[in-house]
Amino acid sequence: MKIADKIASVVVPHSACKAGCSYCCHTSVAVSELEAQIISEATGIKPRRVEHRQSREEIAQYHRQPCPFLSKGSCSIYDARPMACRLMFNLADSPYYCNTDIEPEDSHVTQLNLQDLEFAYTGTFLSSGFADIRDFFPEGRPRKSGKGR
């Protein structure tokens, strides 16, 4: 996760992502079982045992649903957020296309191509299985707070 944070330190100043914008917190977020454990340690909330979902279609059911850790427009688990969140950047000059009222196929968010890093990460942790963060933590309600972008 350190590499993602180093990338973010360089990219965020050029990104449309700013504190208070939470469009990406209303999209599906695939997390590995290991990431669910990290979130659990940070929040004190035990993750549910879930049936792992491997396809984007299975995880896409959460489009437009707020992340259970979104609190007053900010990420309450920012320091323990999953890799999918750490690597999400809008490089356009506006957050317009991030709006989840726009259908995903019509959204044209200019993003940094980190596909090789994402494949390496996913391949490394694939055996632990993935599901949406909402599957692991349907209620959210963390005990410790973080900070948002």
> Of all helices (H) and strands (E), which one includes residue 130?
strand 130-132
Contacts of 115 (CB under 8 A, 6+ apart): none
Residue type at 114? Answer: L
User: Residue 37 in contact with residue 77, Cβ under 8 Å?
Assistant: no
User: Which pLDDT score is estimated for 146?
Assistant: 47
| pLDDT per 10-residue tile (average), the chain, 149 residues | 82 84 88 92 93 67 90 92 88 85 80 71 69 87 50
Helix (H/G/I), strand (E/B), else coil: 30: strand
